[in-house]
Amino acid sequence: MGEYLKHFWNLRFQELKSTLEVNHFEVHITSGKEEAKELVLGRLIPQASPKSISWGGSVTFIDSGLYDDLKHRKDMEVLDTFDPQIRADEKYELRRRALLVDLFITGTNAVTDTGKLVNLDMIGNRVGALTFGPREVIVLIGRNKIISDVDEALMRIKNYVAPANVARLKKKNPCAKTGYCEECQSLERICNSWTITENRFPGDELKSCSLTRIWDFESDRLNARSMEAKPLHTAT
Ligand code: SF4
């Protein structure tokens, strides 16, 4: 990345950090996935001292190597809801129990310039944990998730993020064929629960609410602003 782009992103990150901090989020900016992994493993987890840990869907969590490291930890209870070896009923129960872990790690579908997190979830365990339950929540955010406002986030998530995730997950929903949301009623529909996290509840009883830590880091993936939001496509 050229120096001028680094300078541009640094300005944007600092502004977004300040906005998110006004909304009571704790924010860390790192230079890339490796530094983000070091931050989580070397600082945030030791600070949180969790007795139990789990996670929700996040490509960044996998790509950074955090998942490969944390799933083998022996110094805390690990509720690995990504484990392909466990049965569907076991996974369901793990997801339920994961809502009460000490530390939950996830991603977000979008963060707005006004410091709001916008998410659309299939099962609801990810947005559930983001909202309430775990003592602490870490949200990993690449710069490709930065969107100007909630309206743009809603449009982009439904017409770009969701169809792309359907393709990634190899589901057979109609958007996998057309590239647009078709408002399907598929049993494998991944778009079921929206949340907009405007602010982190900062009350005194911090141990009983989610402490969300957020940081942005350089992502190899596309900047969201290069993706034009497409009009909602309706099946005929
Ligand atoms: S509602 Fe259905 S068609 Fe639309 S993006 Fe979600 S899974 Fe795809």
| Per-residue pLDDT of the chain in tens (236 residues, 90 and over written 9) | 678 888 888 888 889 989 998 988 888 888 888 888 999 999 999 999 999 999 998 888 999 999 999 999 999 999 999 999 999 999 999 999 999 999 999 999 999 999 999 999 999 999 999 999 999 999 998 888 899 999 999 999 999 999 999 998 999 999 999 999 999 999 999 999 999 999 887 654 333 333 355 554 444 333 333 233 333 333 32
Which of 153-173 are b and which e, b meaning 16 or more Cβ less than 10 Å from the residue's Cβ?
Answer: bbbbbbbbbbbebbeeeebeb
Give the whole-angstrom CA distance, residue 70 versus residue 117.
25
Give the whole-angstrom CA distance, residue 167 versus residue 226.
20
Task: Using alpha carbons, select from 63, 101, 56 the residue that is nearest to residue 195.
Answer: 56
- Beta pairing, strands 117-121 & 110-112: antiparallel
**What is the CB < 6 Å shell around ligand 1?**
158, 162-163, 166, 173-175, 181-184, 186, 189-191
Q: Which atom of ligand 1 is nearest to the CA of 186?
A: 2
pLDDT at residue 194, as a whole number: 97
What is the pTM for the complete model shown? 0.86
Nearest C-alpha to atom 4 of ligand 1 is from which residue? 181
pLDDT at residue 229, as a whole number: 31
Task: Using alpha carbons, select from 151, 148, 137, 154 the residue that is nearest to residue 213.
Answer: 137
Distance 106 CA to ligand 1 centre (A): 21
Contact indicator for 130, 212 with CB cutoff of 8 Å: yes
Distance 91 CA to ligand 1 centre (A): 23
- The CB-based long-range contact list for 126-131 (8 Å cut-off, 24+ gap) reads 126/56, 126/57, 127/193, 127/194, 127/195, 128/99, 129/54, 129/56, 129/98, 129/99, 129/104, 129/210, 130/56, 130/104, 130/106, 130/195, 130/197, 130/210, 130/212, 131/195, 131/197, 131/210
Instruction: Delimit the domains of the chain by residue range.
Output: 3-220
- Determine the residue of 120, 168, 181 to mutate for testing ligand 1's pocket, defined as the one with the most ligand atoms within 8 A of the Cβ atom: 181
- Determine the residue of 182, 188, 192 to mutate for testing ligand 1's pocket, defined as the one with the most ligand atoms within 8 A of the Cβ atom: 182
Task: Using alpha carbons, select from 40, 97, 99, 100 the residue that is nearest to residue 73.
Answer: 40
Task: Using alpha carbons, select from 26, 4, 32 the residue that is nearest to residue 216.
Answer: 32
- Phi first, then psi: give them for residue 20, nearest 5 degrees: -65, -35
Distance 129 CA to ligand 1 centre (A): 23
Q: Which atom of ligand 1 is nearest to the CA of 158?
A: 5
pLDDT at residue 232, as a whole number: 36
- Determine the residue of 121, 189, 192, 230 to mutate for testing ligand 1's pocket, defined as the one with the most ligand atoms within 8 A of the Cβ atom: 189
Task: Using alpha carbons, select from 35, 96, 92, 94 the residue that is nearest to residue 66.
Answer: 35
Q: CA angle, corner 205, sides to 202 and 211, nearest 5? A: 50
Contact indicator for 197, 116 with CB cutoff of 8 Å: yes
Q: Does domain 3-220 have CATH number 3.20.20.370?
A: no
Nearest C-alpha to atom 5 of ligand 1 is from which residue? 181
